[in-house]
Amino acid sequence: MKNIFKSIFCLFIALPFYSSAQTAADKKLQAGITFNAGANFLSPSSNKIEANGGGSLLSIGLTVHSALKSSQNLAIATGLEFDFGRNVYNPNTAAYTFIDYLQDDVVLTNANNETSYETMRLLSRGVSTKKLTIPLMLLFRTNFIGDFRYFGKFGLRNSFLLTHSIADNGIDVAGEEISTTLMSSPGEMFLYNGSIGLTAGAEWNFVGSTCLVLEAGYYYGVTPYFLDRKDENKTMYNIGTELIFPPSRSYYSASAGQNQLIFKLSILF
């Protein structure tokens, strides 16, 4: 992670030296550093889970605006961003949900064959992710009016999962509240998240060809946030009501999409 920030910082220092004496209005290519902050909203697609409020998003990266041919009003906006996100959800209270885990905070899946483990009645699960995001959007902008021009963007936000961790809260077999941290369950996370977004903002040419850009946008997720495919990768289960011992288990995965509200601050050279 230190290498990521170090690389972005070096590029941020070097970018101004590639900027020519052109004004911002004349430049065909603008590049710089960007910071994002916003909220994640899970949209459950089954009655097994419900979202526990809004999650959070922070990101840092590089952004590029490239004019199409000779037009200053139409451009492609892309870049490379490292996202740090979090979502929290609760199992449906209509039927108790359980998970099995080891003392060293390893969550067990349906395929695990451990003979000694702990069991928790799950109350809530927090998922923290690190993703590499490549936006690809059409940029529509006005001519400069004084030092300002205004724009809108429409396109895709493509995010690829790098790492994730799970933090569970629940009640153990003795009736005590218990929490775990830094668990993982790779089989339950979809590796690619795509979303369609619409944003609007303003660009301020405050010195030379250097611009400060502020924008806000909403992105609607079009791919699953969780992966619900292989039974052997599932960690959550309900217990059957039939009178047998041990009781039968019905494993399931969370099923939801993710929408995002994002505020972006960029410096372009």
Any residues with CB less than 8 A from the CB of 233 and at least 6 apart, and which? 109, 110, 111, 185, 186, 187, 188, 227, 253
pTM of the model: 0.87
Report the pLDDT averaged over residues 229-256. 87
- Record the tokens describing residue 112, joined without a space: 């695990």
Q: Which residue has the tokens 């809004």?
A: 54
| C-alpha–C-alpha distance, residues 171 and 73, integer Å | 58
Question: Over the stretch 167-193, which tens digit does the pLDDT of each residue have?
Answer: 999 999 899 999 988 787 767 889 999
Question: Over the stretch 37-96, which tens digit does the pLDDT of each residue have?
Answer: 999 999 998 889 999 999 999 999 999 999 998 788 999 999 999 999 999 999 988 889
Question: Over the stretch 94-141, which tens digit does the pLDDT of each residue have?
Answer: 889 999 998 777 888 887 878 888 999 999 999 999 999 999 999 999
Query: Is the pLDDT reported for residue 12 higher than 80?
Result: no
Please report, rounded to a whole number, the percentage of residues in the chain having pLDDT higher than 90.
Answer: 67
- Record the tokens describing residue 19, joined without a space: 């900027």
Cβ–Cβ < 8 Å for 82, 130: yes
Report the pLDDT averaged over residues 209-213. 95
